[in-house]
Structure 1
Protein backbone atom coordinates (compact mmCIF):
# COMPACT_ATOMS: atom_id res chain seq x y z
CA UNK A 1 0.00 0.00 0.00
CA UNK A 2 1.49 3.32 -0.96
CA UNK A 3 2.06 6.11 1.57
CA UNK A 4 -0.68 8.29 0.10
CA UNK A 5 -3.32 5.64 0.77
CA UNK A 6 -1.91 4.89 4.21
CA UNK A 7 -2.20 8.57 5.08
CA UNK A 8 -5.78 8.69 3.80
CA UNK A 9 -6.74 5.66 5.88
CA UNK A 10 -5.02 7.16 8.92
CA UNK A 11 -6.92 10.45 8.46
CA UNK A 12 -10.20 8.56 8.06
CA UNK A 13 -9.63 6.53 11.22
CA UNK A 14 -8.63 9.64 13.20
CA UNK A 15 -11.93 11.32 12.25
CA UNK A 16 -14.02 8.22 12.90
CA UNK A 17 -15.84 8.07 16.20
CA UNK A 18 -14.75 5.23 18.47
CA UNK A 19 -18.19 3.61 18.48
CA UNK A 20 -18.08 3.32 14.68
CA UNK A 21 -14.63 1.77 14.89
CA UNK A 22 -15.98 -0.81 17.35
CA UNK A 23 -19.01 -1.46 15.11
CA UNK A 24 -16.80 -2.03 12.06
CA UNK A 25 -14.45 -4.28 14.01
CA UNK A 26 -17.27 -6.40 15.44
CA UNK A 27 -19.23 -6.64 12.17
CA UNK A 28 -16.19 -7.64 10.17
CA UNK A 29 -15.04 -10.04 12.87
CA UNK A 30 -18.39 -11.83 12.95
CA UNK A 31 -18.51 -12.01 9.14
CA UNK A 32 -14.96 -13.41 9.07
CA UNK A 33 -15.85 -15.96 11.75
CA UNK A 34 -18.88 -17.13 9.77
CA UNK A 35 -16.74 -17.49 6.64
CA UNK A 36 -14.08 -19.43 8.57
CA UNK A 37 -16.67 -21.84 9.97
CA UNK A 38 -18.25 -22.30 6.53
CA UNK A 39 -14.83 -23.16 5.07
CA UNK A 40 -13.99 -25.49 7.96
CA UNK A 41 -17.28 -27.33 7.52
CA UNK A 42 -17.10 -27.21 3.70
CA UNK A 43 -20.48 -25.46 3.70
CA UNK A 44 -21.67 -22.92 1.19
CA UNK A 45 -23.56 -19.70 1.80
CA UNK A 46 -26.53 -21.37 0.12
CA UNK A 47 -26.45 -24.27 2.59
CA UNK A 48 -26.37 -21.87 5.54
CA UNK A 49 -29.26 -19.91 4.02
CA UNK A 50 -31.27 -23.11 3.56
CA UNK A 51 -30.65 -24.19 7.16
CA UNK A 52 -31.95 -20.83 8.34
CA UNK A 53 -34.82 -20.48 5.83
CA UNK A 54 -33.17 -17.35 4.44
CA UNK A 55 -32.23 -16.21 0.96
CA UNK A 56 -28.64 -16.70 -0.09
CA UNK A 57 -28.47 -12.96 -0.84
CA UNK A 58 -29.15 -12.21 2.83
CA UNK A 59 -26.29 -14.44 3.95
CA UNK A 60 -24.10 -12.73 1.36
CA UNK A 61 -24.97 -9.33 2.88
CA UNK A 62 -24.03 -10.64 6.32
CA UNK A 63 -20.64 -11.70 5.01
CA UNK A 64 -19.95 -8.27 3.53
CA UNK A 65 -18.77 -7.19 6.98
CA UNK A 66 -21.07 -4.20 7.34
CA UNK A 67 -24.27 -5.87 8.57
CA UNK A 68 -25.74 -4.69 11.88
CA UNK A 69 -26.30 -8.09 13.50
CA UNK A 70 -28.81 -8.51 16.31
CA UNK A 71 -28.03 -10.95 19.09
CA UNK A 72 -31.06 -12.96 17.97
CA UNK A 73 -29.67 -13.29 14.42
CA UNK A 74 -26.25 -14.25 15.76
CA UNK A 75 -27.83 -16.93 17.97
CA UNK A 76 -29.71 -18.34 14.96
CA UNK A 77 -26.52 -18.38 12.89
CA UNK A 78 -24.68 -20.11 15.74
CA UNK A 79 -27.42 -22.72 15.91
CA UNK A 80 -27.32 -23.32 12.14
CA UNK A 81 -23.51 -23.61 12.17
CA UNK A 82 -23.32 -25.56 15.41
CA UNK A 83 -20.60 -23.22 16.68
CA UNK A 84 -20.29 -20.07 18.76
CA UNK A 85 -19.54 -16.75 17.11
CA UNK A 86 -19.42 -14.54 20.19
CA UNK A 87 -17.34 -15.22 23.24
CA UNK A 88 -17.59 -12.97 26.24
CA UNK A 89 -14.70 -11.95 28.41
CA UNK A 90 -15.82 -14.61 30.89
CA UNK A 91 -15.93 -17.33 28.23
CA UNK A 92 -12.38 -16.54 27.23
CA UNK A 93 -11.07 -16.43 30.78
CA UNK A 94 -12.86 -19.64 31.71
CA UNK A 95 -12.26 -21.72 28.57
CA UNK A 96 -8.84 -20.58 27.47
CA UNK A 97 -7.54 -18.97 30.65
CA UNK A 98 -6.37 -15.92 28.70
CA UNK A 99 -6.53 -12.50 30.30
CA UNK A 100 -9.13 -10.62 28.19
CA UNK A 101 -7.33 -7.30 28.25
CA UNK A 102 -4.39 -8.97 26.50
CA UNK A 103 -6.36 -10.26 23.48
CA UNK A 104 -6.11 -8.02 20.44
CA UNK A 105 -8.07 -8.62 17.25
CA UNK A 106 -7.28 -6.45 14.28
CA UNK A 107 -7.95 -6.28 10.55
CA UNK A 108 -5.44 -5.31 7.92
CA UNK A 109 -6.25 -2.30 5.72
CA UNK A 110 -5.03 -2.57 2.14
CA UNK A 111 -5.50 -1.19 -1.35
CA UNK A 112 -7.10 -3.29 -4.08
CA UNK A 113 -7.38 -1.71 -7.54
CA UNK A 114 -7.48 1.79 -6.11
CA UNK A 115 -10.06 1.00 -3.42
CA UNK A 116 -9.36 0.84 0.29
CA UNK A 117 -10.40 -2.51 1.75
CA UNK A 118 -10.29 -4.13 5.17
CA UNK A 119 -9.37 -7.80 5.50
CA UNK A 120 -12.24 -10.10 6.46
CA UNK A 121 -10.02 -12.49 8.36
CA UNK A 122 -8.83 -10.94 11.60
CA UNK A 123 -5.35 -11.31 12.99
CA UNK A 124 -5.21 -12.22 16.66
CA UNK A 125 -2.42 -11.37 19.07
CA UNK A 126 -2.55 -12.85 22.54
CA UNK A 127 -0.35 -12.43 25.54
CA UNK A 128 -1.12 -15.33 27.82
CA UNK A 129 -1.54 -14.35 31.45
Structure 2
Protein backbone atom coordinates (compact mmCIF):
# COMPACT_ATOMS: atom_id res chain seq x y z
CA UNK A 1 0.00 0.00 0.00
CA UNK A 2 1.20 3.51 -0.83
CA UNK A 3 -0.63 6.48 0.67
CA UNK A 4 -0.83 9.50 -1.60
CA UNK A 5 -2.08 12.13 0.84
CA UNK A 6 -4.73 12.99 3.39
CA UNK A 7 -8.17 13.16 1.78
CA UNK A 8 -10.15 14.85 4.58
CA UNK A 9 -10.67 15.24 8.29
CA UNK A 10 -14.11 14.44 9.76
CA UNK A 11 -15.40 16.46 12.70
CA UNK A 12 -18.66 15.84 14.61
CA UNK A 13 -20.01 18.98 16.23
CA UNK A 14 -22.60 19.50 18.95
CA UNK A 15 -24.15 22.67 17.48
CA UNK A 16 -24.14 22.62 13.69
CA UNK A 17 -25.03 26.28 13.19
CA UNK A 18 -22.33 27.51 15.58
CA UNK A 19 -19.63 25.22 14.13
CA UNK A 20 -20.60 26.02 10.54
CA UNK A 21 -20.21 29.73 11.31
CA UNK A 22 -16.88 29.13 13.09
CA UNK A 23 -15.30 27.13 10.26
CA UNK A 24 -16.67 29.30 7.42
CA UNK A 25 -17.05 32.85 8.75
CA UNK A 26 -14.17 32.91 11.26
CA UNK A 27 -11.62 30.46 9.80
CA UNK A 28 -12.63 31.24 6.21
CA UNK A 29 -13.10 27.73 4.82
CA UNK A 30 -15.37 27.61 1.78
CA UNK A 31 -18.41 25.39 1.40
CA UNK A 32 -18.23 22.73 -1.30
CA UNK A 33 -21.61 21.20 -0.48
CA UNK A 34 -24.09 20.95 2.36
CA UNK A 35 -26.42 17.98 2.70
CA UNK A 36 -29.14 17.20 5.22
CA UNK A 37 -29.55 13.44 5.71
CA UNK A 38 -33.08 13.05 7.03
CA UNK A 39 -32.75 9.36 7.93
CA UNK A 40 -29.90 10.26 10.33
CA UNK A 41 -31.18 13.71 11.34
CA UNK A 42 -27.69 14.81 10.36
CA UNK A 43 -26.01 17.53 8.35
CA UNK A 44 -22.81 16.94 6.38
CA UNK A 45 -20.86 20.01 5.33
CA UNK A 46 -17.90 19.59 2.99
CA UNK A 47 -15.37 22.38 3.45
CA UNK A 48 -12.34 23.47 1.43
CA UNK A 49 -9.23 25.47 2.23
CA UNK A 50 -7.66 27.18 -0.81
CA UNK A 51 -9.93 25.08 -3.08
CA UNK A 52 -8.65 21.86 -1.48
CA UNK A 53 -11.24 19.61 0.20
CA UNK A 54 -10.17 19.26 3.84
CA UNK A 55 -12.99 18.93 6.37
CA UNK A 56 -16.28 17.06 6.65
CA UNK A 57 -18.35 18.70 9.38
CA UNK A 58 -21.12 16.46 10.72
CA UNK A 59 -24.00 16.97 13.10
CA UNK A 60 -25.69 14.06 14.85
CA UNK A 61 -28.34 14.05 17.57
CA UNK A 62 -26.72 13.82 21.04
CA UNK A 63 -23.12 12.86 20.13
CA UNK A 64 -21.10 11.58 23.10
CA UNK A 65 -18.42 13.81 24.61
CA UNK A 66 -14.76 13.10 24.02
CA UNK A 67 -11.63 14.13 25.86
CA UNK A 68 -9.98 16.68 23.65
CA UNK A 69 -7.02 18.43 25.24
CA UNK A 70 -3.93 18.42 23.02
CA UNK A 71 -2.23 15.92 25.36
CA UNK A 72 -5.20 13.47 25.50
CA UNK A 73 -4.80 10.00 23.99
CA UNK A 74 -6.04 9.85 20.39
CA UNK A 75 -6.05 12.52 17.71
CA UNK A 76 -3.99 15.32 19.23
CA UNK A 77 -5.07 18.34 17.20
CA UNK A 78 -5.65 19.78 13.74
CA UNK A 79 -3.04 22.34 12.62
CA UNK A 80 -3.48 25.14 10.10
CA UNK A 81 -0.51 26.90 8.53
CA UNK A 82 -0.40 30.70 8.46
CA UNK A 83 2.05 33.25 7.08
CA UNK A 84 1.83 35.65 10.06
CA UNK A 85 0.93 34.02 13.37
CA UNK A 86 0.75 37.32 15.27
CA UNK A 87 -1.80 38.72 12.80
CA UNK A 88 -3.80 35.45 12.77
CA UNK A 89 -3.80 35.23 16.57
CA UNK A 90 -4.93 38.84 16.92
CA UNK A 91 -7.73 38.21 14.42
CA UNK A 92 -9.03 35.24 16.44
CA UNK A 93 -8.88 37.19 19.71
CA UNK A 94 -10.85 40.02 18.07
CA UNK A 95 -13.50 37.40 17.18
CA UNK A 96 -13.76 36.43 20.85
CA UNK A 97 -11.70 33.25 20.62
CA UNK A 98 -9.24 32.41 23.41
CA UNK A 99 -5.77 31.83 21.97
CA UNK A 100 -2.84 30.49 23.97
CA UNK A 101 0.43 32.40 24.20
CA UNK A 102 2.50 32.02 21.04
CA UNK A 103 5.34 29.53 21.52
CA UNK A 104 8.40 28.60 19.46
CA UNK A 105 9.02 25.01 18.29
CA UNK A 106 12.36 24.05 19.84
CA UNK A 107 13.36 21.92 16.82
CA UNK A 108 12.19 24.04 13.87
CA UNK A 109 12.30 27.50 15.40
CA UNK A 110 8.79 28.14 14.02
CA UNK A 111 6.05 29.91 15.98
CA UNK A 112 2.81 28.13 16.92
CA UNK A 113 -0.21 28.49 19.17
CA UNK A 114 -3.39 26.65 20.10
CA UNK A 115 -7.08 27.60 20.24
CA UNK A 116 -10.31 25.59 20.23
CA UNK A 117 -13.33 25.16 17.99
CA UNK A 118 -16.82 25.56 19.53
CA UNK A 119 -16.72 21.97 20.86
CA UNK A 120 -13.27 22.24 22.41
CA UNK A 121 -11.42 20.47 19.58
CA UNK A 122 -7.80 21.63 19.85
CA UNK A 123 -6.70 23.59 16.78
CA UNK A 124 -3.22 24.90 16.09
CA UNK A 125 -1.83 27.76 14.04
CA UNK A 126 1.69 27.07 12.76
CA UNK A 127 3.69 29.82 11.07
CA UNK A 128 5.35 28.80 7.82
TM-score by length of 1: 0.26
More helix by share: 1
Which has the higher relative contact order, 1 or 2, with Cα contacts under 8 A spaced 6 or more apart? 1
**Higher-strand-fraction structure:** 2
Select the structure of larger CA radius of gyration. Answer: 1
TM-score by length of 2: 0.26
